[in-house]
Amino acid sequence: MMDHQSPTRVYVVSDSVGETGESVVRAAAMQFYPAHLEIVRVPFIHDREGIDKVLNTARVQGGIIVFTLVIPELRDDLIQKSNEYGIPYIDLLGPIVSTLGQALQQEPRRQPGMIHPLDEDYFKKVEAVEFAVKYDDGRDFSGIQKADIILLGVSRTSKTPLSMYLAHKRFKVANVPLVPEMQPPAAIYSVPKEKIIGLRIDPDKLNVIRQERLRTLGLAENATYANVERIKIELAFADKIMSKIGCVIFDVSNRAVEETASLIMDHIERIQ
């Protein structure tokens, strides 16, 4: 019987940063929730020495190799040695690149790191991420006038994760926490309401999320922060503010960050 206490280790080997491989592994792991996986990213592998190192570790500690190597010599070396050592492996890019090459009737460039070129688009993304960090959680309300998107919601409605996700899609996002004891900044009433996104959540769901947050911080779960009546007061206040603004509202109760972000982006594209 498999020991469910010992996570399966997946080595994501890449000649770049390894984001593509890790994203695919995490997406696949969702089909086995709860998946007991330990993902070890092994980036910037540019020689056989790096391959030998990760394979030796996998031989000793066990695990699976998932790789996105575009340099043929390194790819072939990893496959050959994985077969010799009996280490399971998955080549994520090889079959796709080969099939595309046949369809396009041209040879691939075999150049690592092309998914993150240092072009204008890349620098827009960096700028958007820096913007999201600067104007996160009401740290500086001056960002409201400059933002492409303004997120409104009570604490733990995924404002920060959404801001970061949207920033990677090159949107400048400011997020504003709504708290009954503090009126929101006047600026939210002076920007186009189409740019403002209200985030709503079921009170019971929020109660569970906040209790988990308190546990993570080592605090008592019965604190006011996670009190159901307090939560209802906060949500009623938030609904009042959102109704006054007349902004679009999305319920995040049972949605992943990616799903909510997709709805927000669709809304923004429609109004542009």
Six token digits for residue 188? 């939210």
100 or 1, which is more confident: 100
CA distance 126 to 5: 39
| Residue 17 pLDDT greater than 70, yes or no | yes
**C-alpha dihedral, 18 to 20 to 25 to 27, nearest 10°:** 150
- pLDDT, tens digit (0-9, with 9 covering 90-100), for 30-67: 888 677 889 999 999 999 999 999 999 999 999 999 99
C-beta of residue 157 within 8 angstroms of C-beta of residue 260 = no
Rounded to the nearest 10 degrees, the angle between the axes of helix 159-167 and helix 120-134 is 160
pLDDT, tens digit, 9 for 90 and up, residues 186-207: 999 999 999 999 999 999 999 9
Helix axes 257-271, 159-167, angle to 10 degrees: 60
What is the predicted pLDDT for the residue at 205? Answer: 95
Q: Find the mean pLDDT for residues 155-160.
A: 95
Q: Is the peptide bond before 34 cis (omega within 30 degrees of 0)?
A: yes
Q: If you average pLDDT over residues 84-111, what whole number do you get? A: 87
Per-residue pLDDT reduced to its tens digit, 244-267: 999 999 999 999 999 999 999 999
CA angle 70–74–76, rounded 5-degree value: 95
Find where tokens 């770049």 sit.
16
Structurally, at CATH architecture level, domain 8-104 sits in 3-Layer(aba) Sandwich (3.40)
Query: Whole-model pTM?
Result: 0.65
Domain boundaries, the chain: 8-104, 120-271
**Which is nearest to 203 in space by CA: 267, 265, 134, 157?**
157
The CATH code belonging to domain 120-271 is 3.40.50
- At CA 54, angle to CA 51 and CA 60, rounded to 5? 135
Domains 8-104 and 120-271 share a fold: yes
| Long-range contacts from 57-61, C-beta under 8 angstroms, 24+ separation | 57/11, 58/9, 58/11, 58/85, 58/87, 59/85, 59/87, 61/9
> For position 112, what pLDDT does the model report?
65
* Average confidence score pLDDT of the chain: 90
Percent of the chain with pLDDT over 70: 94
* Burial profile 70-88: b = 16 or more Cβ within 10 angstroms, e = fewer: beeebbebbbebbeeeebe
Neighbours of 192 (CB within 10 A): 9
Distance CA 272, CA 270 (A): 6
Residue 22 CB-half CA count within 13 A:
11
